Structure 1
Amino acid sequence: MNAETISAFRLAKRDPADLTAELPLGEEHALQSASDAFHALADTMPQLVWSTLPDGSHDYYNARWYEFTGVSVGSTDGEGWAGMFHEEDQPKAWAKWNHSLETGEPYEVEYRLRHHTGEYRWMLGRAYPIIGTDGIIQRWIGTCTDIEDQKRAALENEILSQELSHRIKNIFAIISSLISLTARARDAFGEHASELLGRIKALGRAHEIVRPHSEKSRPSLGVVTLSDLLETIFEAYPAFSEGRISVLGGDTVIGSKSATPVALIFHELATNAMKYGALSTSAGKVRLELVEVEDEIRLEWKETSGKGGTLEEPLSGFGTRLIDLAISQQLGGSYERRWTEHGLEISMVFNRNRLIENA
C-alpha cells in the first residue's frame, strides 16, 4: 500500500458523513485508489453509505443500502435513487440537495426511504463534500441513518403530552365550576371565590400557551417568550386592550416549569393595580420592562396613577405572600418592593436558566 493509499485509508476511517478534507490531485482520486479499503469500511457501518460525483450523480452505495432497499446493484446509480424516497418528501430533499450542490454547503435532511418490504422508514440524510487542494469539490460522501424508532417515540410522546394537557385543562374547568357553585351557595365566600377564580384562570392561560393540548391551540410563533406569556395573562384585563399596560422587551424563551409562578406573580400584580394601584384610576398606567443582563433577567414593574394625591397602600395579604413564594422559592429570584404616591414599583431579578427550564 503506497503512501497515497495509506493517507486515503486513514481519511476513510473517519465517519463518511463528516468527511471534509483536501485530497492530493492526480489522475485518480485518492479515495478511489483506496476503494477496496473504503468499501470494506463502509460495508461494516450500520448506516447506508453513498457517494456521488461533483454534479450529484450517485456512483456508489454500500452493502447496507442494497440490504435495506432490496434493489439490484447499480439500479439506483445516477439519479435512479430519487424514486426510493416518499413522494411527499422529494421536493424538500431535492431542494436541499440542489442547494448543497450549488453552494458546497453540507447536506442534511429528514425523509422517508422505501424499505424492501414496501414500507417507508424515516431517515436522516447527511452529506459532506470532499474538496481538492484547488478548492474544487471532487465528490460527495453521504450517509442515511435510520431514525424511524426515534420518530415514533417522539410522536407517541407528543400524543401523550397533548392528552395530559387536555386532561389538565379539564381539571382547571372542573375546579372553576366547583368554586363558582360554592360561591353561589355561600354568599360569604363570594369575594374570595372571585379572587381564587382569577388565579385559576391565570394558571389555565399560562398552561395553554406553554403546553397546548392540540396543534390548533399551539402558539403560531413556535416558541414562547416571556413577553408572550405576560401578554396572554394581561389580555384578561381591560386596561391592556386600552393600552394602559405595556410590556417592553422580553424575548427570552420561557420554560413550562417557570410559566406557572410567573403567571401567578403578574396576575396578582395586575389585580392589585386594579384594586388599589394605578389601574384603579382611568388615567393610570403600568409599564413593565424586561432587561437582559448577562445571565440575569430583570423585570421592572412601575405604576403611574395619572392623578395627584397619594394612593393608599394595601395591607399585606395572601396575594403578597403568594408573590413572595413564587419569586423567592419557586423561581429562586429576588425582588425589591416600593410603594410610591403613584402606585407600586417592584424590581425583580431572575436567573435566565431558571426561567427557561422545562418541567
Structure 2
Amino acid sequence: MLWSGSSDLVWDAERMRVATDAAGVALWSWNVDTDEIALDERAHALWGASRNRPVTFETLSARIHPEDLGRVKAAFTATRGMIGAYEIDFRILHHDSIRWISARGQSEDVGIVNRVMFGVFLDVTDRKQAEETRELLAGEMNHRIKNLFALASALTSLAARSTETKAEMADDLTGRLAALGRAHSLVRPNPGQENKALLGELLAVLLAPYDDQTTIGRRLHISAPERPVGEASATTLALVVHELATNSVKYGALSAASGTLDVSCTDEGSDHVILWTERGGPALNPSQGPKGFGSKLISRSISFQLEGSITYDWLPQGAVVTLRISKTCMTR
C-alpha cells in the first residue's frame, strides 16, 4: 500500500521503478573498493553497456568523450572528499551519436552501504542541445551586431572622405545604405525556403538608380548568367558596385550625358568574372587610378570575403574594371 499508519510514504521497489521511469532516471551503484558499477536496465541502455560482463568505472570511461574524460575522472575521484550533493555533466559516445549525461549523487560517503555508493544518471542531451543552440544564436547575434557597427563606421568614413558638405555626405551615406538594403531584400530567405538572388537581377537593382529614369538599358547594359548569389556575397558585391557607380557618376562615364556603362559576367575556371566597362566619359589617365579609402575597402572586401581580386585599367575612353570572384564564395 502507499500509506503507512503515519504520514510518511512507503515506497516499495515496484513503485520506485514506476517513479524513476516516469522521470527518465537511470540508477547506478559503485563499489569504491572493487570499482565495480551496477547499472539498472535504463542505465545499460543509456550507456550501451553489455549486460554479459562486469561493468567498472574504466569500462564506462571508454565511452566518455575524450575531451571530457579527464574532467570526469578527476570529478569522480574528488566526490568522496566533497561535502553535499554533486552533479557532473559530460558527453558519451553512444554508437554513432553523442549523448549528454548528468551523473548525480551524494558525496562524503552519504548513504554508502557495504562500501557501495549510489547515484543516478540523467540523459540531458535535449537540454544541452538547446543550450548550445542558444549560445550559437547569441554568438551569431553578437557577430552581426559587431559587423553592423563596423560597416556603419566604414561607410561613414567613406562618405566623409568623398564629400565636401554635410548635405552631400548625408546623401552619399543614404545611397550606400540603400544599396545594402536593396541587396538584403533580394537575398533574405522566405520562411521555410532558401531564396538566393540572381546575379543579373542583383546588378540591375543596384545600378538602376544611375540610369536614365532608373530604367536599365538606356545608358547601362547588363549581361549576366542566372547565377545565384548568397546573402553575404550580395552584401559585399553591393558595396563594390555602389562604390564603382559613385566614382563613375563623379568622374567617369556616368558623369557625362553621352556616357555608357556595360557590365558583363562570364565564367573562367573556378571564378566568376565581372567586367565593368565605361565609355563616353571624360578622358582619363593612369594618375586617376584608385588611391583612396574606398578603393582599399573594395580591395579588402573582394579579397577576404569573396576570395577574389579587382584590377583597374584607366583607358582614355573610360575605366575598365575586372572583378574576379570565387564561384564557391558567390553562393555564401
TM-score by length of 2: 0.46
Instruction: Give 1 or 2 for the bigger CA radius of gyration.
Output: 2
TM-score by length of 1: 0.43
